[in-house]
Protein backbone atom coordinates (compact mmCIF):
# COMPACT_ATOMS: atom_id res chain seq x y z
CA UNK A 1 0.00 0.00 0.00
CA UNK A 2 2.84 2.36 0.90
CA UNK A 3 4.44 1.67 -2.48
CA UNK A 4 1.22 2.66 -4.30
CA UNK A 5 1.14 5.98 -2.44
CA UNK A 6 4.74 6.74 -3.48
CA UNK A 7 3.95 5.92 -7.09
CA UNK A 8 0.88 8.15 -6.99
CA UNK A 9 2.90 11.04 -5.51
CA UNK A 10 5.53 10.68 -8.25
CA UNK A 11 2.85 10.59 -10.93
CA UNK A 12 1.21 13.69 -9.50
CA UNK A 13 4.57 15.46 -9.33
CA UNK A 14 5.44 14.53 -12.92
CA UNK A 15 2.00 15.50 -14.23
CA UNK A 16 2.22 18.81 -12.33
CA UNK A 17 5.61 19.57 -13.87
CA UNK A 18 4.34 18.68 -17.36
CA UNK A 19 1.27 20.85 -16.84
CA UNK A 20 3.45 23.78 -15.72
CA UNK A 21 5.73 23.39 -18.76
CA UNK A 22 2.81 23.21 -21.18
CA UNK A 23 1.23 26.32 -19.66
CA UNK A 24 4.47 28.26 -19.96
CA UNK A 25 5.09 27.31 -23.59
CA UNK A 26 1.46 28.08 -24.49
CA UNK A 27 1.69 31.44 -22.72
CA UNK A 28 4.78 32.40 -24.70
CA UNK A 29 3.10 31.50 -27.99
CA UNK A 30 0.05 33.59 -27.13
CA UNK A 31 2.17 36.61 -26.29
CA UNK A 32 3.57 36.72 -29.80
CA UNK A 33 0.13 36.21 -31.33
CA UNK A 34 -1.45 38.96 -29.22
CA UNK A 35 1.09 41.63 -30.12
CA UNK A 36 -0.76 44.50 -31.75
CA UNK A 37 -0.27 44.79 -35.47
CA UNK A 38 0.81 48.29 -36.39
CA UNK A 39 -0.57 49.58 -39.67
CA UNK A 40 0.39 52.92 -41.06
CA UNK A 41 -2.51 54.78 -42.61
CA UNK A 42 -1.81 57.80 -44.78
CA UNK A 43 -4.70 60.25 -44.77
CA UNK A 44 -4.54 62.90 -47.46
CA UNK A 45 -6.60 66.07 -47.70
CA UNK A 46 -7.37 67.90 -50.92
CA UNK A 47 -9.53 70.89 -51.75
CA UNK A 48 -11.06 70.66 -55.21
CA UNK A 49 -12.51 73.53 -57.23
CA UNK A 50 -15.81 72.30 -58.70
CA UNK A 51 -17.68 73.73 -61.67
CA UNK A 52 -21.41 73.32 -62.14
CA UNK A 53 -22.63 73.52 -58.52
CA UNK A 54 -25.72 75.73 -58.33
CA UNK A 55 -27.81 74.51 -55.38
CA UNK A 56 -27.86 72.40 -52.21
CA UNK A 57 -28.90 69.35 -54.23
CA UNK A 58 -25.62 69.70 -56.13
CA UNK A 59 -23.73 69.79 -52.83
CA UNK A 60 -25.57 66.68 -51.60
CA UNK A 61 -24.95 64.84 -54.87
CA UNK A 62 -21.22 65.50 -54.78
CA UNK A 63 -20.91 64.49 -51.13
CA UNK A 64 -22.92 61.31 -51.72
CA UNK A 65 -20.90 60.36 -54.80
CA UNK A 66 -17.56 60.83 -53.05
CA UNK A 67 -18.74 59.03 -49.90
CA UNK A 68 -19.50 55.93 -52.00
CA UNK A 69 -15.76 55.41 -52.49
CA UNK A 70 -13.80 53.27 -50.06
CA UNK A 71 -11.36 55.09 -47.81
CA UNK A 72 -13.20 58.42 -47.62
CA UNK A 73 -13.00 59.76 -44.08
CA UNK A 74 -14.46 63.23 -44.69
CA UNK A 75 -16.11 65.14 -47.52
CA UNK A 76 -17.67 68.60 -47.43
CA UNK A 77 -18.84 70.46 -50.51
CA UNK A 78 -19.40 74.21 -50.29
CA UNK A 79 -21.79 76.05 -52.58
CA UNK A 80 -20.44 79.45 -51.48
CA UNK A 81 -16.97 79.00 -52.97
CA UNK A 82 -17.61 75.97 -55.27
CA UNK A 83 -15.08 73.77 -53.47
CA UNK A 84 -15.06 70.32 -51.98
CA UNK A 85 -12.73 69.30 -49.17
CA UNK A 86 -11.94 65.59 -49.13
CA UNK A 87 -9.94 63.52 -46.63
CA UNK A 88 -9.15 59.96 -47.67
CA UNK A 89 -7.00 56.91 -46.98
CA UNK A 90 -4.45 56.83 -49.79
CA UNK A 91 -4.17 53.04 -49.60
CA UNK A 92 -7.86 52.68 -50.54
CA UNK A 93 -8.51 55.49 -53.01
CA UNK A 94 -6.75 58.32 -54.77
CA UNK A 95 -7.48 61.78 -56.13
CA UNK A 96 -8.17 60.47 -59.64
CA UNK A 97 -10.95 58.19 -58.36
CA UNK A 98 -12.45 61.04 -56.34
CA UNK A 99 -12.44 63.33 -59.37
CA UNK A 100 -14.01 60.59 -61.48
CA UNK A 101 -16.80 60.12 -58.90
CA UNK A 102 -17.55 63.87 -59.03
CA UNK A 103 -17.48 64.02 -62.83
CA UNK A 104 -19.70 60.94 -63.02
CA UNK A 105 -22.41 63.03 -61.29
CA UNK A 106 -22.17 65.75 -63.94
CA UNK A 107 -19.78 68.24 -62.33
CA UNK A 108 -16.43 69.54 -63.52
CA UNK A 109 -13.30 69.36 -61.41
CA UNK A 110 -11.33 72.50 -62.29
CA UNK A 111 -8.33 71.49 -60.22
CA UNK A 112 -7.22 71.33 -56.63
CA UNK A 113 -6.46 74.47 -54.66
Fold of 43-112: Alpha-Beta Plaits (3.30.70)
Residue 25: the pLDDT is: 61
How far is it, in rounded angstroms, from Cα 16 to Cα 26?
Answer: 15
Domain-wise residue ranges, the chain: 1-37, 43-112
Mean pLDDT of the chain: 84
Burial class from Cβ neighbours inside 10 Å (0-12, 13-18, 19+) for residue 89 reads middle
Among candidate residues 39, 47, 41, the one with its CA nearest the CA of residue 91: 41
Residue 29 has pLDDT above 60, yes or no: no
How far is it, in rounded angstroms, from Cα 78 to Cα 103?
Answer: 16
Q: Give the pLDDT mean for 67-85.
A: 96
What is the pTM (predicted TM-score) of this model?
A: 0.64
Cβ atoms within 10 A of the Cβ of 84, count?
25
Amino acid sequence: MLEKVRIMKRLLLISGILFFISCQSGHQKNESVNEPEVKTVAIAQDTLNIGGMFCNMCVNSIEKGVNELQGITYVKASLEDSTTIVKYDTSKTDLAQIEKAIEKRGYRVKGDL
